[in-house]
Structure 1
Amino acid sequence: MAKTNPLQFVQQVRGEVAKVVWPTRREVVLTTIMVFIMAALTATFFSLVDLGIRTGLAAVLTAF
């Protein structure tokens, strides 16, 4: 494995970072909002599933 000196390493890192396409502020805000909406929908879904299972289990256990 070839060794690079620290100066070459820093130059290579800067070159790679320059190639990165950073998201715009609008993209970050929209993506963040979408994540919060999906998290809320997922939480609601699993809460309803839990409520349904709990209610069904309670009905089965009280019937016997």
Structure 2
Amino acid sequence: MAKTNPVEFFQQVRAEARKVTWPTRRETLITTAMVFVMVVLASLFFLVADQILSFVIAQVLQIGR
């Protein structure tokens, strides 16, 4: 593996950094909003699933009494 000197390395890093396409402000806001929406939906799903499982387990445990 060929070694590159530090100057050449940083030139290559800068060249690669110029190729990066950054999202626009609008894209960032939309993506952030979608993440929050999905977090809320997942939270509601797991809340409902937990309540259902708690109810079912409580019913099963009461059968033995």
When normalised by structure 1's length, the TM-score is 0.96
Alignment partner of 1:21 is 2:17: no
Q: Number of paired residues?
A: 64
Q: Where does residue 63 of structure 1 map in the other structure? A: 63
Unaligned runs of 5+ in 1: none
The two structures, once aligned, show a CA RMSD in angstroms of: 0.6
Matches within 5 A, 1:1-64: 1-64=1-64
Kindly provide the amino acid, as one letter, of the partner of residue 11 in structure 1. Answer: Q
Query: How many percent of aligned residue pairs carry the same amino acid?
Result: 52
Runs of 4+ in 1 over 2 A off after TM superposition: none
> How far did residue 63 of structure 1 move?
1.8
CA–CA separation in structure 1 for the residues paired with 2:21 and 2:10: 19
Kindly provide the amino acid, as one letter, of the partner of residue 32 in structure 1. Answer: T
CA–CA separation in structure 2 for the residues paired with 1:2 and 1:47: 56
Unaligned runs of 5+ in 2: none
CA–CA separation in structure 2 for the residues paired with 1:40 and 1:2: 51
When normalised by structure 2's length, the TM-score is 0.95
